[in-house]
Amino acid sequence: MDINSRIYVDSEIGRLKKVIVHRPDEGIARITPKRAGELLFDDIVHLPNMQEEHDTFVLVLQAFLGKENVLEVRDLLAESTRDEESKYEVINKITDFEELPYSFIPRLAGLSPEQLADTLITGYLEPEDRILFDPIPNLIFTRDIAVTIKDYVIITKANKSARFRENFLTRLIFSSHPVFRRLKADGKTINLNRVDKFPPSKKGETVSIEGGDVMVLNKDYLLIGCSERTNNYAFQLLKETLFDRGIVKNVVQVNIPAERTYMHIDTVFTQINHHHMVAYKPIVQDGLGSYVDVHRHTGEEVEYPSLKDFLLAEINPKMEFIWAGQGESPYQEREQWTDGCNLVALKPGVAITYDRNPITERAFKSFGYKVVGAEKLLRDIDNGKISPDQVENTIITIPSYELSRARGGSHCMTCPIEREEI
């Protein structure tokens, strides 16, 4: 990754140019039935199959972005630990957090950058064949670790204790990696883990916000969901920070039921084109347990009864909604659960989704989209039948039998750090 790489995102649909992902790692193979819920998985998974599914996903990303622009968390972490001061800082903090004996500090520090990265991620110390601490299986959902808003990076703060170690690793990457160190020096990093700047409330409420609850609609509008994983206190603090720095003009609070079924706002809607949202009808149109507050930098506030009302009034009066499960029960409930609303756009009108939502696929086709399996598309690209630039109005489906058990889709598995300006 070039130290002069541009970091910039001003939409959900501009051509994706650079993204962070994480391949399911060996720690996931240690999840037991009794601990699956505690570690935020719905079930135990077969790791080799899960990795194969994720590999297909990454191959699609690489085909459209170039291999050099699909960045792996493990590699970024390893590169970040080459700085000795940063390495010892993260080792000391994780040793304290995981309540390890201090005798492990020099043992961890003596590992190669790659070995250290693997240990910090999986919890397994390979040279000693020793499990030091729990895995962090949700790291595959890189969307949640950070959000790029224009040329700023927001380091988020996980809600659940099962993800707390991710906070340490994210801070290390975005403060010490050569590419992101420049952002920090320029004052373009907002670290929500900094207790001095983002302390608990007077009532003891801590900051809790994850990237799946943050969407950049355009240069003027940022959506932040208040959900199971993101609280109102975090929203208010971040909103004030964004306004103080003049980053956006409108911060939109999207309130959804605080239930695992929905988890983040990107489980109920994502944008795939200038005029198309893929969405869960009961919340987005009917406003089930939901409402929308628009906060303007001028201090004005406007409330809408549903996300659909807000989008039509302030973003695009021609916005159309492709309903998961075609907006019919029981299919909409089933296919929202299996991430039918959770798509990542590679460019306007081209997006990736799971292959397990047939009724939603019918909805895509009714709106003029072609639905094609990832393996077939990759073969056609390899054989020269089509180039990524020629792919238009297409929904690409990836295998998802194991990936879907983790409760996150293609939007969740990507952390965009550069998109083409819209």
Flag whether pLDDT at 256 surpasses 90. yes
Domains of the chain: 16-419 (3.75.10.10)
Beta strand 291-296 with 276-279 is: unpaired
Q: What is the share, in percent, of the chain residues with pLDDT greater than 90? A: 92
Query: Amino acid identity, residue 149?
Result: I
What digits encode the pLDDT tens for the residues 150-179?
999 999 999 888 999 999 999 999 999 998
What confidence category does residue 226 fall into, taking pLDDT thresholds of 50, 70 and 90?
Answer: very high
Cα–Cα distances (Å) from 239 to 54, 190, 297, in that order, read 34, 12, 9
How many CA atoms within 13 Å lie on the side-chain side of 382? 9
pLDDT at 64: 98
pLDDT at 289: 87
- For the residues 396-403, what does the mean pLDDT come to? 97
Flag whether pLDDT at 5 surpasses 90. no
Q: Torsions phi, psi of 166, nearest 5?
A: -60, -35
What digits encode the pLDDT tens for the residues 305-347?
999 999 999 999 999 999 999 999 999 999 999 999 999 999 9
Q: Which of 42-46, 272-276, 354-358, 396-400 has the lowest mean pLDDT?
A: 42-46
357/360 Cα distance (integer angstroms) = 6
Flag whether pLDDT at 1 surpasses 70. no
- Token pair belonging to 331: 């299919």
- Token pair belonging to 208: 């809790």
pLDDT at 159: 86
Indicate the DSSP class of residue 249: S
69/18 Cα distance (integer angstroms) = 5
Query: Hunting for tokens 């795939």 — which residue is that?
Result: 272
pLDDT at 122: 97
Q: Which residues pair with 146 in a beta bridge?
A: 155
What digits encode the pLDDT tens for the residues 260-284?
899 999 999 999 999 999 999 999 9
Q: Shortest CA distance to 256 belongs to which of 279, 280, 225, 278?
A: 225
Beta strand 276-279 with 320-323 is: parallel
Q: For the range 96-99, what are the long-range contacts, defined as Cβ-Cβ under 8 Å and sequence gap of 24 or more? A: 97/164, 97/165, 97/168, 98/132, 98/133, 98/165
Flag whether pLDDT at 4 surpasses 70. no
Give the chain's radius of gyration (CA, Å).
21
118/256 Cα distance (integer angstroms) = 36
What confidence category does residue 398 fall into, taking pLDDT thresholds of 50, 70 and 90?
Answer: very high
Tell me the average pLDDT of the chain: 95
Contact 225, 270 (CB under 8 A): no
Q: Which residues pair with 214 in a beta bridge?
A: 224
- For the residues 65-93, what does the mean pLDDT come to? 96
Query: SS3 of 185, please?
Result: helix
**Please, what is the angle between helix 113-122 and helix 164-176, to 10°?**
150
Flag whether pLDDT at 3 surpasses 70. no
pLDDT at 179: 87
Residues near 327 by Cβ (< 8 Å), separated by ≥ 6? 281
